[in-house]
Chains A and B, each alone.
Chain A
Amino acid sequence: MSSDFKELQSKWESTKKNSELSTTNFDDLYKKIKIKEKENVFFYYSTIIILLVTLIVISIFFYYVAPVKEMLSRIGAGLMILGLVFRIVIEIRSIHKAKQINILETTLKTADNAIKFHQFRKTIHQVIAPIIIGLYTIGFYMITPEFSLYMKFWNVVLIDISYVVIGLILFFIIRKGVKKEMQKLTDIVKLKNEITD
């Protein structure tokens, strides 16, 4: 084995020598780094921006466009806004956890941090997201009676049906997210076991 391994090692070395760079265009590399930095910012903050815009639009809608008067509707609007605020807080917490996966740490520590992050994401998908959607849905249907006073019956029915459709789409998106998170979690737990085995 020892001589075989030495042979392997010399092959390894010779290949590496052949792959040495003649020239590297660092300007291109720096451009790619800049693009990657932008992508990272987008990756981390795009969801928060979308949620914030939704929150602002809904708040403006209930304050200026359609200020609801009945207590039931006000509670409903409050639940919808609260659900969104809660979702934004969770997303910020998620980014904080993601940033704790530090690739400068040892492989074992990085795997541990990645496990914690994906367990957190799993909890979001399985517990927190359904609660938020539930709050939002309850809030939405609490507003419907007051809206039906000002809108045609069929318009209200159409809005209610479209909400169910959106709900179904969200259900499948969440289910996909849970599956993806579970797969990642299983992979990293397996990796950790392989490291410590």
Chain B
Amino acid sequence: MRNSKNEAFETIYRQHHPMVLQMCLGFVRGDKDTASDLSQEIFISVWNNLDKFRGASSYKTWIYRITVNTCLHYVKKDKKVRRLSSSEIENQTSIIDTEKTINDNIPKLYNAIGQLKRIDRLLIMMVLENQDYDSIAEVIGINPVNVRVKIHRIKKRLEKILKNNKDE
């Protein structure tokens, strides 16, 4: 039976999962398994904190905070090789299948973003997501003017990386 929490969560998931997954991919230089793990961690946090959402900011800003903090504090798990049961395999497959629809056309973009500092990757991805400086400042906790200065520097750095990558 679906309750209102499930409904709210599923709506948020459908609306924001592509953005979250893509930010994770950009953060981990296109490593799909890690990005999938990360996005899962993020939505588990969304579920666990859904009752705490007070509407002081938009859902999007709220999810950005969870995404940025989870990415920055994520510790990659050691993949332990163990035999999975058939039901586990089924569960894994259905989740991984959804992730496999990701377009592989622009790994170069993830690679370029991945060459930036960790916080810079997330900042530039929020800009790519059309977030304004005020909402980025709200997520990071610094002044919007500082955000503007940072973004300017990051864009220059990214331009240099992309130029170098093209020359290679």
| A residues in contact (CB < 8 Å) with B | 1, 4-5, 8-9, 11-12, 14-26, 28-33, 36-37, 101, 103-111, 114, 191, 194-196
Q: Which residue of B lies closest to A192 (CB)?
A: B119
Q: Is the CB of B138 within 8 A of A106?
A: yes
Prevailing SS type, chain B contact patch: helix
Q: Which residue of A lies closest to B150 (CB)?
A: A197
Per-residue CB proximity of B66-100 to A under 8 Å, as 1/0?
A: 10111011000000000000000001001100100
B62, chain A: closest CB distance, angstroms: 7
Q: Is B118 an interface residue (CB 8 A)?
A: yes
Q: Is the CB of A105 within 8 A of B17?
A: no
Chain B 11-48 residues near chain A, CB threshold 8 A: 13-14, 17-19, 21-22, 40, 43-45, 47-48
Q: Which residues of A contact B60 (CB under 8 A)?
A: none
B90, chain A: closest CB distance, angstroms: 9
| B residues in contact (CB < 8 Å) with A | 6, 10, 13-14, 17-19, 21-22, 40, 43-45, 47-49, 52, 62, 65-66, 68-70, 72-73, 91, 94-95, 98, 101-103, 105-106, 109, 117-120, 125, 128-130, 138-142, 155-156, 158-159, 162
Prevailing SS type, chain A contact patch: helix
Instruction: Known pairs A21-B17, A24-B98, A107-B139; list 9 more (Cβ under 8 Å).
Output: A11-B109, A25-B91, A31-B91, A103-B66, A105-B69, A106-B138, A106-B139, A191-B72, A195-B141
Q: Could you say which of B10, B102, B156 contacts A19, with CB atoms under 8 Å apart? A: B102
